[in-house]
């Protein structure tokens, strides 16, 4: 039985070309990038090449890219680093209620423990955060707005251009978590009026444990990690050079095929959706029907326990998710799904399929057939 991986929003398999360059870097570029001898200079050169690749991907300058341990650290650094640096300007921030936990829990810490006032803007029924709602939430004390580019559970794409414009006109810093969108749909920090941007390697077929943050020139963050002032003092500690090099190559590959890959994966996603919705009743599509990430498909199978469906699919070689991987192990219903109007019971009957570059039409047809048979069997067993 062929295994089919449909959980690419949780993580992606490392591209073999990326794995090869990571291995080569570990063996050949073992020098410390901070050292001034030839070994250090060679290491520094490959690090700076990766920085330039990532900068070019989002239309920034290399000096505005800082490497981190991943998207979570980048999100934490953006929020905590900014408000602690500029808290004399105000103590109000705006986030959405459906952010990734890396943003949401940081905002809650600021709200509950550090004396900041946080407004949690609600989405509409499609998971869209409307620019008008952001504008209405702004106060005289607002210093930071953080709204994700793409929702990690339902795939809805937010209008960060309009949100960034509102923030820019008000003189408020705008951060967006682009972990799910980077390398999958175009990003232009200048056109989108973005001041800070969080990125991750392992969502684009790169290694885990490395990410980056874009910080617009002129913005300073209070450092969270003290040490030898690597990354211009923004993030001290000897850099994860093999990871950085791998992220650079993964970004380069994604950038070269971004448009075609989005079309191909979007077509496969649409076919999976069509096959399931045409042959199963009582199934609901979550998220925006068209304005969504190409590979994301969130479906609620009414009358079916999502975890039972997931485990049954796993036994048949199909890997999917009941929500975001960062929320696995929780008994509570997804905060994203309940925010867009699903009951706890229906949220727990939801499966997230996220397709990637290794999937093909045969995978989709096989998955749809297994899904249809499994859902019908589970419903018959429960009497629904």
Beta bridge partners of 350: 300
Q: Note whether 205 and 81 are within 8 A (CB).
A: no
User: What secondary structure does DSSP assign to 99-161, as a single string?
Assistant: --HHHHHHHHHHHHTS--EEEEEPP-TTS---HHHHHHH--TTEEEEE--SB-TTT-BBP-HH
Chain-centre distance of CA 175, in angstroms? 13
Beta bridge partners of 269: none
For residue 4, give every residue at least 6 positions away whose Cβ sits within 8 Å of its Cβ, in sequence order, or none.
317, 318, 319, 359, 363, 366, 367
* d(C-alpha 14, C-alpha 23), whole Å: 12
Options 262, 285, 326, 378, the catalytic residue: 326
Which among 102, 139, 101, 132 is positioned nearest to 118, based on CA atoms?
A: 139
210: tokens are: 């490395």
> Please, is 227 exposed, middle or buried when counting C-beta atoms within 10 Å of its C-beta (0-12, 13-18, 19+)?
exposed
Which among 32, 55, 29, 39 is positioned nearest to 248, based on CA atoms?
A: 55
- Using CA atoms in the order 333, 338, 344, 346, what is the torsion angle rounded to 10 degrees? -110
Q: Note whether 147 and 163 are within 8 A (CB).
A: yes
Count CB neighbours of 366 within 10 A: 17
Residue 326 bears catalytic tag: yes
Q: How far is CA 368 from CA 5, 80, 269, 301, in A?
A: 13, 44, 11, 13
142: tokens are: 């607002």
* d(C-alpha 337, C-alpha 287), whole Å: 9
CB burial readout 183-199, b (16+ within 10 A) else e: bbbbbebeebbbbbbbb
DSSP structure class, residue 321:
B
Looking at the annotation, which residues are catalytic? 326
């Amino acid at each position: 039985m062929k295994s089919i991986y449909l959980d690419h929003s949780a993580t992606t398999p490392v591209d073999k070309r990326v794995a090869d360059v990571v291995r080569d870097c570990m063996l050949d570029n073992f020098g410390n990038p901070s050292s001034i001898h030839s070994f250090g200079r060679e290491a520094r050169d490959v690090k700076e090449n990766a920085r330039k690749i990532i900068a070019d991907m989002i239309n920034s300058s290399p000096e505005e890219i800082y490497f981190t341990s991943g998207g979570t650290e980048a999100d934490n650094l953006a929020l905590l680093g900014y408000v602690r640096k500029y808290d004399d300007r105000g103590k109000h921030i705006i986030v959405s209620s459906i952010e990734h936990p890396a943003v949401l829990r940081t905002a809650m810490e600021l709200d509950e423990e550090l004396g900041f006032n946080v407004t949690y803007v609600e989405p509409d029924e499609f998971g869209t955060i409307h620019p008008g709602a952001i504008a209405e939430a702004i106060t005289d004390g607002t210093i930071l707005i953080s709204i994700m580019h793409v929702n990690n559970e339902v795939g809805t794409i937010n209008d960060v251009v309009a949100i960034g414009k509102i923030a820019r006109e008000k003189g408020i810093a705008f951060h967006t978590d682009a972990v799910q969108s980077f390398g999958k749909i175009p990003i232009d920090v200048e056109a989108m009026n973005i001041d800070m941007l969080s990125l991750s390697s392992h969502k684009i077929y790169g290694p885990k444990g490395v990410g980056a943050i874009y910080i617009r020139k002129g913005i300073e963050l209070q450092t969270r990690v003290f040490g030898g002032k690597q990354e211009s003092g923004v993030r001290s500690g000897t850099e994860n050079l093999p990871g950085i090099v791998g992220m650079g190559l993964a970004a380069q590959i994604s950038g070269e095929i971004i448009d075609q890959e989005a079309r191909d994966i979007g077509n496969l996603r649409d076919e999976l959706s069509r096959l399931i919705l045409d042959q199963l009743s009582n199934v609901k599509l979550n998220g925006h029907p068209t304005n969504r990430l190409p590979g994301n498909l969130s479906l609620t199978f009414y009358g079916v326990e999502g975890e039972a469906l997931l485990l049954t699919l796993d036994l048949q070689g199909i890997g999917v998710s009941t929500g975001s991987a960062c929320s696995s192990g929780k008994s509570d219903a997804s905060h994203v799904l309940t925010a867009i109007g699903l009951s706890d019971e229906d949220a727990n009957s939801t499966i997230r399929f996220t397709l990637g570059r290794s999937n093909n039409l045969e995978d989709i047809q096989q998955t749809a057939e297994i899904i249809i048979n499994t859902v019908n069997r589970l419903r018959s067993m429960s009497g629904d």
